Chains A and B, each alone.
Chain A
């Protein structure tokens, strides 16, 4: 920290000059901020203002820059000084835009601005410019696990983009489920008849592509390393192991159909004439190879009537079977009914459904099936009773209110069972019993059977496969970041991620291929991947202070931290997403980032001027998640939604990065209250770091003990869920809390 020179720049544009006493702010920066160089400028983000800063960097030896202007989220291109540590004091969105322009408000508004200048100066001094991770790899090869439609599409798309691909397929041929289909649901005009699967074409493209190396009859024996430098052992049937250097991984391991033997009430496993959709595809393929007539398996007689049972073992509210809808099966049954109608319109085909869901252009396909004479009956099938070569289907007719409806002499019953993800080992189920010290009885409710074989065999401390979110599907955020998993550089695509059909899987594959390419490029440059794309900072640890408590290695939402043989944490920077959860977890505070640390936030907390208890100016600290809460606060400013002048807001990377020392420090310093604003956690999480806000909240739930030792009221700390859309709600919450704190009274720690 020898030769740092800090400069502070105060902008007078956007009304700051009129609303604030900027000369006083410059003086504050010099006197309280102890900055040797402090200037104001009429319009700091214009070419002249930026040139002034650049000139000071070049000629005055300025290394650290504090800019008092707009929010750190604005003008990022103008105020881009990659060689320097930069802090931003939010005077525009955070002060003048959220305060009324009145004479009475002027004093508190100025107080607010002055504090933000003090905080900015304190923060920037505790920072260094991030240099980027140097422990990088340069492999640009993509590993695709799974040779179905998703995997083949990923490989082809990546190859077209100019990246080499290693494709590993467990079976002896490419194609996956789609390869077993007779035909597929149409994706082109006029959406009227089943279409060719296109699998043969995809497979020949893959095999003919010199950029794609295919391993058939192969599995992943071991995956070691980090994005840009994965080392993957591929075990082949012959027993040989091949080692490949890999940059990023796309897992496209697909699904298994829900086992129809678990549905004996629907005749599953009780008669050869009760089959699942895969069974019918096999019959249709066999028929197409012969005389084109689909025959019932029991006696090889042509099928004259067939009933399709939708939602078999799906959308089950009792928890016995799958609770979700697999989305593809209605279209699949319509397609299969057409297999019969297109060859012989005289075959009776009935689809018994509760809600027909036909994504894509399925509505046209559905209409076409109706035109072809497929009968659609809205009902819930209660029982399928096989009897010799036929079956009786008993169902509740939901339109006619006939609970005792039935169809007799049905030759073939097709059960539309759903998709179960091939997501490998559920590592949460593996670790939970160990942590809680109780032997895990697999809970029957709502869980699906997990294949006990690992797919990726990661050498990560947190387990051999990517974590799962719900129902065995791999972790992802359906809307915001669909392909991300909680393992950096490893993406999932296709039905392993959520139930889907071929068209969706192909889109998924393309998206995941591009995400994987981004990840390996970022990894080479030592930069973070989503959501802090391009971030050059990474966690640094003072190992000499480490107590080997393992909280960081256990809590890291991305499994970035391993342990060495002496049980010290080993940081794999390329796997890190820079959320700072390890920093928040560390009880001895030895983990920090160059531009974000216990000190950078701690210094800001301490820099705020705390008026005495008689001034009637309480101080509320807000630690706001920079992904959702801070933008919401900025947008509240843009909408001129006013809030209390007594708050001081510090953006944090994630609620998970909040170290309890900050709270203790703030309360000791005489703040009257602390508000924590983080994203929604749990199954429906909105946290950009998936588990960050949850982990942060677990930590904060224990804050009551701290408050007790300080002899403080529990109202002094408030944990709030804030979404990016809470533009009106957030100011409201702040004002309510400020009013509540008036009732609680001033903090007894003021003036110490």
Chain B
């Protein structure tokens, strides 16, 4: 049996801000993104603001109404959060190299092999919890179990600064009574579908007829049934900063939620344009893999990657593949809050021409890009844009190339 920890930094952004500025510790603190374009969406809050009813995704004024005039609003500082996140990861690395980051503040750790050296999963969890507190001044809550899903549920059960162990002996008492929407990937629409089948708790889902659930929810039905029974076998995949360097990407939280495929396509083109320009800047002209990341308004993440038909750095090819992948994974149960497009597997070999493509078209595209780059270097990124982006004047006003937003990857990354 495996030993898997899920470690969650409690109120991460807000905790870092309180460390940096202890005077705000006893007040309701909210961390907001860009104030201009999303009117200060709450990205994180401390426990005082949480008690007042503030939710991630609230608009600033909603939070202000809930908390009163004591509220402290801090603008998110992702580069510091990333540095702190790396320092926490360094502590994890003392216990295992099998670490999978899930966003900036959560990680799975597979300590199956190291448990022989450092003690049981629970002991390792407590050591990590103590060290993070003593060395960095932050608290984590950690779930310990034999699969990723239950360890993630465990990390939510007791917090802050706590460890919860879910074993084959106790999961029916601890996990099964939880409402079904606590499971990863059960968002509002899925919850409603399950509720209509009479399934309200994780236990009811586990004991339900898998085929009936699959009939209602498609392949997600099978996944969720396995999640509820603790039979999920997905591995803790090594994911680290290194991997981010091997890809070039851009993501964007748009000023309004995207409500249809046309909106999404526009933003994907905007992102692909920036990715393509950054590829040329870095001398990594052609890539073999395109990734799409989408986040819904209820903050579920979806991710898929696909191979290009040939090594490419072309805006249209990147965008069209990204859009195709998006359509394959996004269930459209909620509007889209943010999108990310990235490319990886850079190709340095000789180019094999597409049987139906022509050299001259490629050359023309290369010349065109070169000209566009020159114009942008001289006059700024937004002076020349794709026509599709012009459909929405506020989108056209965004300079994506500068933006830097961090999102959790999807659970199903491969």
Is the pairing of A and B real? no
Listed in ascending order, the chain B residues whose CB lies under 8 Å from chain A are none
